[in-house]
Chains A and B, each alone.
Chain A
């Protein structure tokens, strides 16, 4: 089974291309690149060769899967990566 829009929020985010589309911090909007790390509250994105850390809270992300683009509210990702597996 691979990553689908349905199981994305329980699957591994590292390695996926992502774009920040909404945030209460306007300077973070528009950051895009591959996810390289994830902690409870932050996602690290490689943007133009630089590592940018974006808070999950108060932000939305668009993840690009091979067959679809999925918009995810950062609030749904507010877990430690190892706790995000089921609910």
Chain B
């Protein structure tokens, strides 16, 4: 159930991003809270679409910068200017 709600909130965040980006961020915040409260992880592919630091919904090219480095990818959140990194082979 928690997993479904997280997925649904990310879907809604995507839908609202064009007109109401502040709602997207709220939905991410709620999704993360559901995850923490119920001990459910946010799936990897969704984790890469949010900012760990400020709970923004990230759309590469709009409010996120994605760059390939030597052995990892960096995603810069253009709202709080912090970076997240994840490896690739």
Binding site for B on A (CB under 8 A): 1, 7, 10-12, 14-15, 36-38, 80-83, 85-86
Contacts and interface: CB of A to CB of B under 8 A. Distances in A.
A15 B7 CA distance: 13
A57 B8 CA distance: 25
**Interface of chain A, main secondary structure:** loop
B42 interface: no
Given A12-B5, A14-B27, A85 B12 contact: no
Nearest to A14: B12
Contacts of B33: 80-82
A7 B26 contact: no
A85 B30 CA distance: 12
B3 to A, nearest CB: 10
A85 B27 contact: no
Contact of B37 (A11, A14, A38, A83): A83
Nearest to B13: A14
A39 B56 CA distance: 19
Given A11-B1, A11-B5, A37-B23, A82 B12 contact: no
Given A82-B37, A85-B5, 14 more contacts: A7-B1, A11-B1, A14-B9, A14-B12, A14-B27, A15-B12, A36-B16, A38-B30, A81-B33, A82-B36, A83-B37, A85-B34, A85-B37, A86-B1
Contacts of A15: 8, 12
